[in-house]
Structure 1
Amino acid sequence: MSQTIQAIRGMNDILPDITPRWQHFEHIVADWLAAYGYREIRTPIVEQTSLFKRAIGEVTDIVEKEMYSFEDALNGEHLSLRPEGTAACVRAVIQHNLIYNAPQRLWYAGPMFRHERPQKGRYRQFHQVGVESLGFADADMDAEHIIMTADLWKRLGLSNIRLEINTLGDAAARTRHRSRLISYLEAHADQLDEDAKRRLHTNPLRILDTKNPAMQALVDAAPRLYDDLDEAALAHFEQVQILLRAHNIEFNINPRLVRGLDYYNYTVFEWITDQLGTQGTVCAGGRYDSLIEQIGGKPAPACGYAMGIERLLALIEANDIPAPSAKLDAYIVHQGEAANVYAWQVATELRAAGLNIVLHCGGGSFKSQMKKADASGAAFACIIGDDEAEQAQISLKSLRNAAEQVSCTPAQAISLLTARN
């Protein structure tokens, strides 16, 4: 016997028992984003590899080690599965001149791909919701992104997520800080791990975000980026804090919060939970004012963030928030030549009234069909034999309580089934 083919490790099937929770989450998110005036954009999952190299940075872990990249056999193009959504969104905005006349509030959702060691909360195919605001320069948009996510946590029933914020200043400030930081780290080269040594001259800011306990004292004593910021950056960050306090949003300023992508400037933030182990960041983002120009568009400010769907669903489950169940109004069982034809007509009429109906297929006795009706989770069974077909009637039986079985027309069945909703 041939070996069964399995899904690729770290790329998971989402089975029918689980999809209602996903759908419920997606409905809440879509309504929440509409309430803030954001419109959905959908981009391909495959893009030119150069897009991510230019946007994310060639010396980031994502580009160096994690992207699924390949050469198109047809034309030799170098392509990659998208590892994140911002670059693709910005590419689409530039290509279609979306901010030519007005700023844009956009959102997207879908799978992202990174080649890394799978573990709980970290997969090779994972799903994100991303929010991008393009053409907005002021601190009020930074604050809106944070405030609206706090609103989402309430809508999802989550309360145990804390907020950390920081500012990275502008490119000139980071250049000044980079020089001081490299000098400091070079003076303590014997304390650097291999990852830090690799990043020392390419992306030293990322060393500050190390999770290596042996390097924490070294990192804590490192020069602070905050000391190199100019007045404009400090004023922008102060305005963000004022708006957050006005909306009673609690936060912690974390001077070591730098994010893993090169395109960020000014405000960065993360929403973190302690309930998911090491994969505690469930939402993160910030401002990226240089990215549009970096990819090839006219200079324009922008900011955005993304949240991991798998991590948020795991957090919802960890908090015992009930999962919604799919609602099936009735299961139609039928037997007899005339009944089979009439059952199709009844199913069509009930569905047209907005009811969720399963029509039994495959034949079998009434007894075996009723077992399947009960197992389906339907609230009622619609029983149709040739006698019911001849009289254009239905026998409606509750599957969830001891109510008496009733005989009725399809129109009456619609009224009864709709009333229970």
Structure 2
Amino acid sequence: MHDVADLVLDLADFITASPTPYHAVAETVRRLSEAGFTEQPEAGEWSTEPGGRYVVRDGTLLAWWQPADTRPGAPMRIYAAHTDSPTLKVKPRPDTGAAGWRQVAVEVYGGALWNSWLDRDLGVAGRLALYDGSTVLVDVARPLLRVPQLAIHLDRQVNQGLTLDPQQHLLPIWGLGAPSDGDLIEFLTAEVDVDPDEVAAHDLVVHDLTPPARLGEEEELLAAPRLDNLASVHSGIGALLAASQESSDVIPVFVGFDHEEIGSGTATGAAGPLLESVLTRIAGGFDARITSFALSRCLSVDVTHAAHPNYLGQYDPIHRSLPNGGPALKVNANQRYATDAPGAAAWARACRDAGVPSQYFVGKNTVPCGTTVGPIVATRLGIRTVDVGIPVLSMHSARELCGVQDPEFLTAAATAFLTDMT
């Protein structure tokens, strides 16, 4: 295994470099390219040569290692995560304001904890789409925006229950004066040396600027934005690179989907056709994929709920998970998680082979759980899928908390999963 301190520092660097799915993909491409992976254009001639390749579409990336001498229909071991996180997304016409304040119009993306975005120094990041068809990444990683709370003196009952209207109360301020149409885009284009008149559209979000940090007496915890689900993406890339160095007859595959937090029903989401299309070509064509998919397995990796000591009544008492206890196997009788017994056995074998502890997460019967890309992949492709994830607190907050050992546990177990020929 890697040194925990080094891996946590690398995870922190990855998160900081990835304020949006587009940046997460760009950082992943940088790492894969350094390891010798090359891009496979979706519309180009498909290569079957041994080696590492990747496909990029917007905020989604697929990467795989093609072993030498694999035949059509070879089994695949797939690691599926997602690149997006709940946030506040900038509206098409962003410039607004009131009473002498300049503000930015935003809407909520995904199931964000709204109050966690209050009174934080925020940057803005995303992509600018130009009239010539190109896109430019932008990241203002310095204090620019803030969503201020109302002083308690003007709302004496706020501690008995905070109520936020996302249309009225979540608009960030970024200065004084009268708003003017085009102000924000003009500011952002100056940051990346682009003519504002060439910008046709944009995909922009705000992001918390507080750097990731270890905390606790023994520094056994990591606080960071976007652990859901960049911690899983980071481990998946590490596992794929490690698997590429091992001799195996299975094809290891990584996919990081965009749009999981809003239901995955997009062209680049898990419910879209992209994964099926790429896996079919990796398998050797439509006929070969029948055999390949039947022999393949998928590890769906998304963070899970750590037991919260102040709210233990929200958890099943014998299926709680804790940080640094290893990634948790996620089980749900109604298949909100895709885990079944054979999939659970494959995960247990991977953890045993890697020398990694594992635990369970099963929701309390009276508290409905969330879901992941796992059931979507299993339903679309018929590939046996198992859901796992490292435990975190404050899921969907602007800042979340995990154990410092769990990312390495996850990487090691996922490497064993991606190379398992059983």
**Is TM more than 0.5 here?**
no
Q: Which structure exhibits the higher relative contact order, with contacts defined as CA atoms closer than 8 Å and separated by 6 or more residues?
A: 2
- Of structures 1 and 2, the larger Rg is shown by 1
Q: Which has the higher helix share?
A: 1
Q: Which has the higher strand share?
A: 2
